[in-house]
Amino acid sequence: MCGRFTMDASELEILKEYELNDEIIGFQPRYNIAPGQNVLAIIHDGKKKRVGFLKWGLVPSWAKDTKIGYKMINARSETAHEKPSFKKLLAKKRCLIVADSFYEWQKSENGKQPKRISLKDRKLFAFAGLWDKWEQGEEQLFTCTILTKSANKFMEPIHDRMPVILPKKEEEYWINPQTRDPDEVGQFLSHLPSSELLDAYNVSSLVNSAKNEQRECMEPLL
């Protein structure tokens, strides 16, 4: 699964990386993003890419209770095209969720050791995400989930699952507004390379609590 991540970049870096022209209202770097919080996401409205914030934890448009979002922070990429909760979203509500690393907890004899994992070859990257709009009366929620997959060889000693990190060249396909057959998208996900060059190091148990948001969360543990 993916339960925490970071987005340590400047607004200018993000606008340049994703060729965006709009100001990111409310932008700030984040060091310990947790479910239920807002995450920076990019969609395509059919005319241009749009950047803004989505609440992490998918609340489908048909949901009766918004608390379902806490159970839907992740979606398994292998089966998403078969699930009613995700099938329609795969067809036309795909988004990029901007990050520069994620945290995972490695089991050991001494408990669980949190690690920060990032790409070796580039700083910013995007998780493959799905989003939806929920509304009831005047209340509206725009929420998202992060797709996950089986761990690659690098991640296997740390955890058996990992988020789907889109190769740079595939980001445009993912947010292209064209409606696609969910099975086609499922095939796309299954054929993504699993050889991302990753790096990892131990970090402080500060990240165990979502209340901790300081930069120290992602500093190497000495």
- pLDDT tens-place string over residues 36-95: 999 999 999 999 999 999 999 999 999 999 999 989 999 999 999 999 889 999 999 999
Please give the average per-residue pLDDT across 98-127, as a whole number: 94
Using CA atoms, how far apart are residues 119 and 216, in angstroms rounded to an integer? Answer: 20
Q: What is the pLDDT of residue 109?
A: 86
95: Cβ–Cβ under 8 A, 6 or more apart, which residues?
41, 42, 43, 54, 129, 130, 131, 144, 175
- What rounded mean pLDDT belongs to the chain? 94
In the three-class reduction of DSSP (H, G, I as helix; E, B as strand; rest coil), residue 100 is classed as: coil
Q: What is the DSSP letter of 203?
A: B
Which residues does the annotation mark as catalytic?
Answer: 2, 104
Q: What is the pLDDT of residue 110?
A: 84
What percent of the chain is predicted at pLDDT more than 70?
Answer: 100
Q: What is the pLDDT of residue 5?
A: 98
- Do the beta carbons of residue 104 and residue 115 sit within 8 Å? yes
Please give the average per-residue pLDDT across 186-213, as a whole number: 92
Using CA atoms, how far apart are residues 132 and 143, in angstroms rounded to an integer? Answer: 6
What dotted CATH number matches 5-218? 3.90.1680.10
Q: What is the pLDDT of residue 195?
A: 63
pLDDT beyond 90 at 117: yes
pLDDT beyond 80 at 194: no
**Alpha-carbon separation of residue 110 from 106, 107, 113 (angstroms):** 10, 8, 8
- Do the beta carbons of residue 85 and residue 60 sit within 8 Å? yes
pLDDT tens-digit profile of 5-51?
999 999 999 999 999 988 999 999 999 999 999 999 999 999 999 99
